[in-house]
Structure 1
Amino acid sequence: MPTMRSVIVLQILSVLIGLSCSLNPRDPNVCILWESFTTSVKESYQHPYDQVTDEPCADPRTSYRCLHHRITYKTAYRQAVKTDYRKRYQCCPGFYESRDKCVPRCTKECVHGRCVAPDRCQCEGGWRGDDCSSGMTFPLPHSRHSVCSSLSLTQTQLTFTKKKQEEEQDEEVEEEEEEERNKQRHEMKQFSSSSRDCT
């Protein structure tokens, strides 16, 4: 039966492994941060003490005994604080962590588009501007034929935009499902590795 101390140590190790493996170091948007931490260690040192001995006095004419003092050293132990450093992965500036990935952060919401780089939106068809909130402007028609052509063009753009949105939604759903499967396989692999270490 494992002791309570070993169980706590295993839990701490599992948490540390999870933190260290949450981000992929090969991701170009992941940066390395060195952080310091302290631990309590037991160190040895030479402790001086006064050794007193009862010896005959230096004067041979007396039979008295005298006390002699001598400083000697013994090895002793004490608790000390040790500072060490460890490597931690975090998202680079302009990115934030979402589902174990570093995704770009846009200060303004991409109203009709998506954030593809820090403070950079990719607008959907028919939209423009820094936050994709401005619609495309078309010249005013001058005849009935041009009105019909303009309406047909607008309808075509709306259909294309709707189809593109559906395709992007399907791609996002597939990516989320693939991420979930990869995460489950990663957790199973960590659990198997932890089980082998315990045995």
Structure 2
Amino acid sequence: MIFGKLLPREGNFFELFNQHANHIVAAAHAFARLVHHYNDPQLREKYNVEVDTAESAADQVTREVNRLLHTTFITPIDREQIHSLINTMDDVADLMQDAAETMALYDVRRMTDEIVRLTDLCVKSCERLKDAVALLDDIGDAKTAAAALKTCEEIDQLESDADRVMRSAMSKLFRDEPDVREVIKLKAIYELLETVTDKCEDVAKLIEGVILENS
């Protein structure tokens, strides 16, 4: 009995999830500013650094969660759920950084309307992800669980919207863009941004699973 009392319990997983979600939103907003100020080289560099900083902070939280998993005897939800959730959330932050880096590496010269629209959907998806994560520590309450599930449905709808924008963007790109190099560049950016919303949807599905098993 004494041994059991001495074992680490619970940890601080929900707070760490919230911290990570905050960094995801920071990365998304920094990326949006990068897109909207892309014609200014100095601001472009500034917002690239902000994306990198947010992604690095998210990585630190991910490492802390995985460390806690190895030192905490009793966790608030299933260990595999914690592991999957934090690492899928980290994929979202990584993809925001990948999109920013790809723009720089490919020397993308201009932002298209489709990039702006996909970026807006990424930001909204990340914000709703943050809202859903914030509800996790109180899913034993029926109203909170219902609110979280509704938020997850909204994330799913945003992913569907992004998918439609990307299909339209690809059609326009291959139909109207004569420069093959531009086709390659823009196609990569469109796909990365749509994948951000895919990963947000993956997080939402994991949260739905946690709610269904624990509420």
Question: Do these two structures clear the TM 0.5 threshold for a shared fold by scoring above it?
Answer: no
More strand by share: 1
- Which structure's relative contact order is higher, taking Cα pairs within 8 Å and 6+ residues apart? 2
Looking at CA atoms only, which structure, 1 or 2, has the larger radius of gyration? Answer: 1
More helix by share: 2
